[in-house]
Amino acid sequence: MGGRHRAVAGTRGGRYDAGVAVFAKVTEAFVAELDMATEAHLDWTRRVLRCAVLRTPPGEDVMAADAHERCRFGRWFGEQRERFEERDAAAAGRVAQNHQRMHDAMRRLCTAILDHGRGDAADLAIFERAQTDLVADLAQLKTDVLARSARHDVLTGLPLRHGLEDEFHRCLSAARRHAAELVVVLLDVDHFKQVNDRHGHAVGDLALQHVAALLMAQSRAGEPLLRFGGEEFLALLAASEPGGAEQAVERMLQTLRNTPLRLPDGSRLDLRVSAGLARVGPDETLDGALARADRALYAAKAAGRDRWRWAA
């Protein structure tokens, strides 16, 4: 397996819930910054209105040629541009374009008002349209950020399980197109409760991050890896040749055997996982495949852990 996919998150344990709370705070901070930077244009608009009524210059963050980079929103957007583009490059481009068009139109309006007492209706129309489009894109961005915060796990960087059904059908269709089998794999960290009991939840968090990173490193592009529960992960594998799924899962287990977690005090912690595999049958549902993979996982645990088993 080799590419990067992320995992879904379940809700077992206060440690995971705390991680989600931290992620929520980060998201809230980003949204608050977005709101404040956007609201800064209200003050900007008030100064423009004073220019129109009292003929007073509105300031360099309106009149300068680079005013779209000087205003509070422009500065903030410039700092956050990369994050915007990661989420939606096209929308980020529209935001930048409409923000500059809005400033350029208002600069022309204010210049005309200060020089002649009257602006051009065409410039006003450009300003109004650019502002409307900008507000719409920012509102959609805010919605997307909030939605993403509910779908991803801050602790491991893996997606939450909300989109698992869609991923299952996507992978199933892709496997059938390529005459491959879709295999559902459930992986569970062995003796994880002992890790928390002996080392504390902070080390437990490091252990989950360590396992997630190693599993991701062994994942192929197009084959999702999700955090499925407190210490459980789920992978969807496309097996195009006999033994492909077993080899992929064995590589995961062997990577963990070969890569102990180095703790802050310099000591090392060996981590192991057990896995249950289930081939998705014709017309089988996700729930059916998950139930069989879960039974196979328990069989692997009963057989001594640090191994995999196929579902019947």
Helix, strand, coil percentages, rounded to 5, for the chain: 65, 10, 25
Q: Given this model, what pLDDT does residue 211 score?
A: 96
Does residue 263 surpass a pLDDT of 60? Answer: yes
**Residue 146: band (very low, low, confident or very high) from pLDDT cuts 50, 70, 90:** low
CATH of domain 156-310: 3.30.70.270
Q: Given this model, what pLDDT does residue 25 score?
A: 54
- CATH 3.30.70.270 positions along the chain are 156-310
CATH of domain 20-149: 1.20.120.30
Q: Given this model, what pLDDT does residue 291 score?
A: 96
Q: Given this model, what pLDDT does residue 149 score?
A: 62
Q: Given this model, what pLDDT does residue 27 score?
A: 63
- Is 231 one of the annotated active-site residues of the chain? yes
pLDDT in tens, 55-95: 888 888 788 999 888 888 888 888 888 877 877 788 889 99
Does residue 12 surpass a pLDDT of 70? Answer: no
- Segment 148-165 shows an average pLDDT of 75
Q: Given this model, what pLDDT does residue 312 score?
A: 87
Lowest-pLDDT range of 6-10, 151-155, 176-180: 6-10
Does residue 15 surpass a pLDDT of 70? Answer: no
Lowest-pLDDT range of 132-136, 151-155, 181-185: 151-155
Does residue 148 surpass a pLDDT of 90? Answer: no
Catalytic residue among 39, 231, 250, 284: 231
**Residue 308: band (very low, low, confident or very high) from pLDDT cuts 50, 70, 90:** very high
- pTM reported for the whole predicted model: 0.59
Q: Given this model, what pLDDT does residue 92 score?
A: 87
Q: Given this model, what pLDDT does residue 139 score?
A: 81
Q: Given this model, what pLDDT does residue 1 score?
A: 37
Q: Token digits for 17?
A: 């819930």
**Residue 13: band (very low, low, confident or very high) from pLDDT cuts 50, 70, 90:** very low
Does residue 280 surpass a pLDDT of 90? Answer: yes
Contact 292, 278 (CB under 8 A): yes
Residue 17: count of CB within 10 angstroms of its CB? 11
The percentage of the chain sitting over the pLDDT mark of 90, rounded to a whole number, equals 51
**Residue 46: band (very low, low, confident or very high) from pLDDT cuts 50, 70, 90:** confident
What does 114-169 look like in DSSP terms, one character per residue? HHHS---HHHHHHHHHHHHHHHHHHHHHHHHHHHHHTTB-TTT-PBPGGGHHHHHH
- CATH 1.20.120.30 positions along the chain are 20-149
Dist. CA 166–CA 160, nearest whole Å: 12
3-state class of 8 per DSSP? coil
